[in-house]
Structure 1
Amino acid sequence: MSEAKSTAEQLVRTYVDVWNERDYSKLPDIVSESFVMHDRAAPEEGVPGSAGEIHGPEGLEQFVREVTTGFPDFEVTILDLVSTDGLVMYEGEISMTHEGEFDGIPPTGRTAQFREMSKFRVADGAIREHRAYFDQQEIYEQLGLTED
């Protein structure tokens, strides 16, 4: 395994730890100032970036805090991870319970568990980009936010 590959993988694993452990102090060390996250769940207002995007380490911290306020037990489990120099992808499972307001939606008290794919671009020792892919409709259904 090349040094660059192991560094990129470690950065992504640390990134997942930030979500799971809420250790925001790690963010400046792992994501670049120009970091962009593409996530359909990113609200149109309240975090730096347009709808579906989060910009910079501060924007990422703000978004993680919003998600974990709405879903205090939010947890990502990496099921499989592959990488090359500068590119890391993983398949993960997310579990969460909707116990607080998120993006204007009052808590439902329901739990959601779903698979997601994430793709990361890493350069110069930092994560530059994160693209998250998941079925948002599946989450809405599990949280009881759709009509039967």
Structure 2
Amino acid sequence: MLEKNKETVRRYFTELWEKQNFDIIDQVFTKDFTGHLVNPSKGKEGIQKNVLIMKKAFPNGRLEIDDLFGEADNICIRWRYVGKHEGEFMGISPTGKDIVLKGITIERFENGKIAELWAEMDIYDLLKQLGVINM
């Protein structure tokens, strides 16, 4: 089951983040999914909202997996989101700067689907890259 869960994560990263195929949500997330993110989310609408926020701000952005491992019903992913800031993000007007947002996500699976997700992202470093913080 662990390998199947890893493949599910790879699949939704590709389908959701690269292709914006929102149909994948029903296939890989439970109906009562909860996301513990910068913008907390519940269900299909919450997932779509988070993807669209990033795609609006970084339209050419791509999500890359650096590490993927797990145990039992939990999968951990170390990832980076690479793109160019071309739309408003967190009230910040487009800067045209290239960014690399790094993060770690843990997904908890139930019956082969993602039921809960925790994400930690280095927003501080992103704000430095955008020139909002000069330290």
TM-score under structure 1 length normalisation: 0.83
Counterpart for residue 11 of structure 1:
8
2:52 match: 65
Indicate the SS of the match to 2:23.
helix
Give the CA deviation at 1:105: 2.4
Match of 1:116 in 2: 103
Whether 1:127 and 2:125 are equivalent positions in the alignment is no
Cα deviation per residue 1:98-126 (whole Å; 9 max; x = unaligned)?
10122332211111114321111011121
Aligned residues: 134
CA distance in 2, matches of 1:64, 1:76: 11
User: 1:147: Cα distance to partner?
Assistant: 4.2
Counterpart Cα distance in 1 of 2:52 and 2:74:
26
Which residue among 31, 48, 60 is the counterpart of 1:33?
Answer: 31
Q: What are the ranges of 5 or more consecutive residues in structure 1 without an aligned counterpart? A: 43-52
Match of 1:99 in 2: 86
Q: Distance in 2 between matches of 1:92 and 1:59?
A: 20
One-letter identity of the residue aligned with 1:9? K
Q: Deviation at 1:21? A: 1.9
One-letter amino acid of the counterpart of residue 11, structure 1: T
State the distance in 2 between where 1:7 and 1:61 align.
Answer: 23
Letter in 2 for 1:80: D
Letter in 1 for 2:24: K
Question: 1:139: which partner in 2?
Answer: 126
Report runs of 4+ in structure 1 exceeding 4 Å deviation: none
- Percentage of pairs with the same residue: 25
RMSD of aligned C-alpha atoms? 1.5
Cα offset, 1:87, TM superposition: 0.5
CA distance in 1, matches of 2:82, 2:4: 27
Q: Secondary structure at the match of 2:82?
A: strand
- Which residue of 1 is the match for residue 62 of structure 2? 75
User: Counterpart in 2 of 1:24?
Assistant: 22
Report the Cα offset of residue 93 of structure 1. 2.0
